[in-house]
């Protein structure tokens, strides 16, 4: 029994050693395969680059231009039979092309460039719109939060003064009412009534003496920031939306510019109407003020952009 066990252990050890040896061989083969694939990739790149630099390819590129030029001439003649194309000479174009192909490096010949088109402008415009909207919305949130914190701190200070110096605070409020034109007897009566209710007296003292409204617990600064952000996106996207709408119909930049101006004016008019409804103002006056303000801002932005373009030497 012991002998069988010993033989089994020996066989197992030999099998494990053999497996280890096979694993090492497999690792070596995988390494060799990886190196071979890498060499093939390098060889492929070298072959492609050599073909691009070859005189044969450059000659073919130069010879293909006349054929394409002839095809273009035939298509123009078929579309415009009355057009005189006899004065067009291919010699100058062919020589220019051959010289440019042979003088430029293959990297420049085969380089693919993506000019800035309308899609790029729209992407940049919407990105800038969202970024500005986040900035304005966050600024409104911070402003509302700060205003609420200041009001809460001032109320705490006023409450401490009323608790510890109630008489003096009543006299100050009495003089404040008298300064506003209230009769001494009426002012005394009002102050005595307020003095019975500490919270009301503190709020009245803040408004009369410091000109600060008490903090509103129902006011949520994050809501103010969110509303500002959404409103900025909705009304600020009008010029960009006009370009998107007109893209399928025209390629004329002047028409798109006029469309952006019209849609921007409509959005400003709607903003003025919303402002008049909320504030209870005259609709026509509110719309006129909003349009005038928007026109000034647009003119300033357009003028500044034009000046910077001229100063930097950017060409259309």
The string over 205-229, giving b where at least 16 C-beta atoms fall within 10 Å of a residue's C-beta and e elsewhere, is bbeeeeebebbeeeeebeebbeebb
C-alpha–C-alpha distance, residues 81 and 83, integer Å: 6
Q: How far, rounded to the nearest angstrom, does the alpha carbon of residue 215 sit from its chain's CA centroid? A: 34
Checking if the pLDDT of 62 tops 80, the result is no
Burial of 299 (0-12, 13-18, 19+ CB in 10 A): exposed
The angle formed by the CA atoms of residues 32, 36 and 41, to the nearest 5 degrees, is 150
The mean per-residue pLDDT over the stretch 165-178 comes to 80
Helices marked H in the chain: 2-53, 55-79, 90-103, 106-110, 118-164, 166-179, 184-195, 198-205, 221-236, 238-246, 253-279, 283-312
Checking if the pLDDT of 52 tops 60, the result is yes
Checking if the pLDDT of 102 tops 70, the result is no
Kindly state the DSSP code that residue 234 receives in the 8-state scheme.
Answer: H
The mean per-residue pLDDT over the stretch 230-240 comes to 84
pLDDT tens-digit profile of 269-295? 888 898 888 888 898 999 999 899 988
The mean per-residue pLDDT over the stretch 147-161 comes to 83
- State residue 292's pLDDT score: 92
- Of 134, 212, 202, the closest CA to residue 172 belongs to 202
- State residue 3's pLDDT score: 64
Between 82 and 299, the more confident residue is 299
- Of 277, 269, 276, the closest CA to residue 294 belongs to 269
The mean per-residue pLDDT over the stretch 219-240 comes to 86
- State residue 115's pLDDT score: 37
Tell me phi and psi for residue 302, to 5 degrees: -65, -45
Q: Does the model's pTM come out above 0.85?
A: no
The angle formed by the CA atoms of residues 226, 224 and 296, to the nearest 5 degrees, is 85
CB-CB contact of 275 with 247 (8 Å): no
Structure tokens at 194: 């307020």
């Amino acid at each position: 029994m012991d002998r069988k066990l010993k033989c089994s252990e020996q066989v197992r050890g030999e099998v494990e050693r053999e497996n280890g040896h096979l694993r090492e061989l497999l690792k070596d083969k995988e390494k060799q395969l990886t190196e071979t694939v890498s060499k093939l990739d390098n060889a492929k790149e070298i072959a492609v680059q050599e073909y691009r630099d070859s005189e044969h390819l450059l000659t073919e590129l130069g010879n293909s231009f006349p054929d394409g030029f002839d095809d273009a001439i035939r298509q123009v003649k078929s579309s415009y039979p009355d057009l005189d194309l006899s004065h067009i000479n291919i010699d100058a174009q062919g020589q220019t092309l051959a010289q440019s192909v042979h003088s430029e490096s293959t990297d420049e010949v085969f380089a693919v460039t993506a000019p800035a088109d309308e899609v790029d402008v729209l992407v940049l415009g919407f990105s800038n719109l969202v970024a500005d909207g986040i900035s304005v919305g966050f600024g409104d949130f911070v402003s509302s939060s700060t205003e609420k914190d200041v009001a809460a701190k001032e109320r705490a200070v006023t409450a401490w003064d009323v608790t510890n110096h109630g008489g003096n605070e009543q006299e100050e409020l009495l003089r404040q009412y008298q300064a506003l034109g209230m009769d001494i007897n009426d002012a005394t009566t009002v102050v005595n009534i307020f003095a019975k209710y500490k919270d009301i007296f503190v709020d009245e003292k803040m408004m009369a003496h410091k000109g600060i409204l008490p903090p509103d617990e129902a006011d949520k600064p994050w809501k103010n920031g969110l509303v500002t952000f959404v409103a900025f996106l909705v009304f600020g996207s009008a010029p960009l939306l006009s370009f998107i709408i007109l893209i399928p119909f025209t390629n004329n930049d002047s028409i798109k510019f006029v469309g952006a101006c019209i849609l921007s004016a409509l959005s400003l008019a709607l903003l003025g109407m919303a402002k008049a409804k909320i504030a209870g103002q005259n609709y026509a006056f509110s719309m006129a003020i909003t349009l005038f303000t928007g026109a000034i801002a647009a003119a300033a932005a357009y003028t500044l952009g034009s000046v910077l373009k001229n100063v930097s030497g950017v060409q259309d």
